[in-house]
Structure 1
């Protein structure tokens, strides 16, 4: 009887070993490779869910995908994402740290879901009906907003408080936690104002009808034409790694051209630049603008490398804005100066391919402590351009 009991224990132990080994063997593994002579971090890698769903357990609603470093066994922050806005999750996002000219291996395992904390995610966006009808978005470094149809209608009907602009506003935050809801509440429900810096930053970036940080224009002959406020919106996701949404615009005229425009905008953790994918009809080129404000900024253009920069005095600090695009898609630039209010912008001209144009636009505020000089900001944009043209490579093992 003792011998039989010993045999049963041995058989059970073997079963556990083989079961664990089988689970490890079936956990999909992926190699992420960095081909550049620079360390990489805060860059988002995507794993197609089609590469994960071969296991029946992946359909278990009680479990969630977890990305694990194969060497250190450390769990990385990850997020399921809908990349094309069709309502279906299609990729798993994570942000590995990869040394220069090296690779790391990661595996995706299933674990029992943990109830999410009732907190605002690091990458966050929402429609803001309580402040007319803004749409605002942020991550741990920067924040932005733009304006909806009610704000436009108020201007057209001479009602105070409206805004007529498809430009992109910059909210200059200098903390790494979410501030959008807090600042709107402060401005609308208390005697405070988000135009005053009490330690977290402020909104002192004037947009008006300018392009702000990355707004769209179409040039016909010598004139730049602009869309008006967005007409529809949809939030696609908010999370620890990415927030994304789309904005629709009413058809608008650029000379004798009728332009249609939809923007897909996303912002990932750890970056100063929002990504814009614009579906556009009626033109084969667009101009993406950075407002010149007082026209006293320093301009740097590297069209062949896909980036332009504007560094300017701003209040009691300094501010850099920039546009980055894939190599070969930026065809030129123009520092367009005029005496007309808010119409002076530094423009980057981009090709429309298959009805789309993609670019990154954002800012760096000296007072946030992220960038101290124009050289710091330009180095960031230069490296950003190199990285998007040489993305981290992921391969299934």
Structure 2
């Protein structure tokens, strides 16, 4: 038994030594003439040449020639209990490239990095699903809130629109704000220095909700019916929301949203799986229609810059190339039905877009021009992704 144990230990040490001596090289190149950061590289275990039995958490990524490991996150994409995707965020100068090495990280710190990218189901506030990173926060609403509204019970919410929480601090606030609400020790509708929720959704699309237009009418789903959290961590949070089948002028529509939010980004990524249509629209609410709408079909974005209380807010949606067909400012006698819509192609039952906001009080976007410059650069980056080569 002792002899067998020694063989196993020696084989394990030999494997780890082999990894340490022969790091996997990841070369990342930037094809654009702008500096890149806060973009997530994701590499699968198979792409890295690792065996299915290898434990991804034992590996780290660092720039070649340095001794400091980057913050990384391992993700179990298929829910089998084994992580199969590695995430990290490099900084790459314009038209430049860098080499990184993947190797066993024997010096990994015992303290976990702060989970800036976080999401969860919130049963204590009816049944919200909320998510945030270090820049922005969002939420949407579940079946209990829908039933309360349909039963005319006070406190319900009936909408598949996306709400925005205007935070202006880097640290996480979701749990703190919900605790104030549920304990009665405060309210997230008043800014005490961290931000607030003063963004009304109602029947609107909020920031990035979808709809389908038939003739002159927009149709959309009700609240989500089920949820599943995929990951939270220092780099990304992601989750899946499913919706009951809904009707668009006689067309049966199925809808599943996979939403993710990465560290440093003001935009959530929406991956919509839909059947029953070849076109759908993504919208942003016009609220009081006292702001300025803009759209750029060539670059692939729409936005709305509006006054909000004693500040200003930019909302927007960015699309991969050849996704947006057109956009329109849709007006209706009912204020909450007024949205800026982008008409999108559905390809293989899927649509992908990125949606979010920039609040003037947060500090990074103090003008409409600054916000639109961010959207322009964001579109350029998703259409010209960082090039990853693994050796």
Q: TM-score, normalised by structure 2?
A: 0.92
1:159 partnered with 2:180? no
Deviation at 1:109, TM superposition (A): 1.1
| Partner secondary structure for residue 210 of structure 2 | strand
Bigger mean CA offset, 379-388 vs 66-75:
66-75
Structure 2 Cα separation of the partners of residues 173 and 254 of structure 1: 35
Deviation at 1:69, TM superposition (A): 0.7
1:225 partnered with 2:214? no
2:330 to 305, 330, 336: 336
Conserved? CA contact 1:220–1:254, under 8 Å:
yes
Bigger mean CA offset, 147-156 vs 302-311:
302-311
Structure 2 Cα separation of the partners of residues 82 and 290 of structure 1: 32
Partner of 1:11: none
For each residue in 1:24-57, what CA deviation from the matched residue of structure 2 results, as whole angstroms up to 9, or x when unmatched?
Answer: 542111100001000000000112211335369x
2:32 to 30, 36, 39: 36
2:182 to 183, 188, 197: 188
Conserved? CA contact 2:62–2:101, under 8 Å:
yes
Partner of 2:233: 239
For each residue in 1:338-368, what CA deviation from the matched residue of structure 2 results, as whole angstroms up to 9, or x when unmatched?
Answer: 1114100000111100011100000000001
Structure 1 Cα separation of the partners of residues 228 and 94 of structure 2: 38
1:101-180 to structure 2, matched below 5 A, reads: 101-112=95-106, 114-117=109-112, 121-180=115-174
Structure 2 Cα separation of the partners of residues 298 and 226 of structure 1: 25
- Where structure 2 has 5 or more consecutive residues not aligned to the other structure, the ranges are 1-13
Partner of 2:54: 59
Structure 2 Cα separation of the partners of residues 20 and 352 of structure 1: 46
1:94 partnered with 2:88? yes
Structure 1 Cα separation of the partners of residues 214 and 30 of structure 2: 42
Structure 2 Cα separation of the partners of residues 135 and 161 of structure 1: 16
Distance change >3 Å, CA 233–CA 87, structure 1 → 2: farther
Partner of 1:12: none
Deviation at 1:116, TM superposition (A): 4.7
Structure 1 Cα separation of the partners of residues 303 and 21 of structure 2: 49
Q: TM-score, normalised by structure 1?
A: 0.91
1:180-329 to structure 2, matched below 5 A, reads: 180-329=174-323
Structure 2 Cα separation of the partners of residues 148 and 386 of structure 1: 34
2:42 to 42, 46, 67: 46
Conserved? CA contact 2:29–2:98, under 8 Å:
yes
Structure 2 Cα separation of the partners of residues 216 and 105 of structure 1: 40
Partner of 2:8: none
Larger Rg: 1 or 2? 1
Bigger mean CA offset, 65-74 vs 342-351:
65-74
Distance change >3 Å, CA 88–CA 79, structure 1 → 2: same
Bigger mean CA offset, 19-28 vs 196-205:
19-28
Distance change >3 Å, CA 87–CA 338, structure 1 → 2: farther
Structure 2 Cα separation of the partners of residues 43 and 274 of structure 1: 12
Partner of 1:395: 389
Give the count of matched residue pairs: 377
| Partner secondary structure for residue 58 of structure 2 | strand
Structure 2 Cα separation of the partners of residues 29 and 55 of structure 1: 17
- Where structure 1 has 5 or more consecutive residues not aligned to the other structure, the ranges are 1-17
Deviation at 1:20, TM superposition (A): 10
Conserved? CA contact 2:287–2:335, under 8 Å:
no
| Partner secondary structure for residue 145 of structure 2 | helix
Conserved? CA contact 1:210–1:291, under 8 Å:
yes
For each residue in 1:102-128, what CA deviation from the matched residue of structure 2 results, as whole angstroms up to 9, or x when unmatched?
Answer: 1000011112465454x8610000000
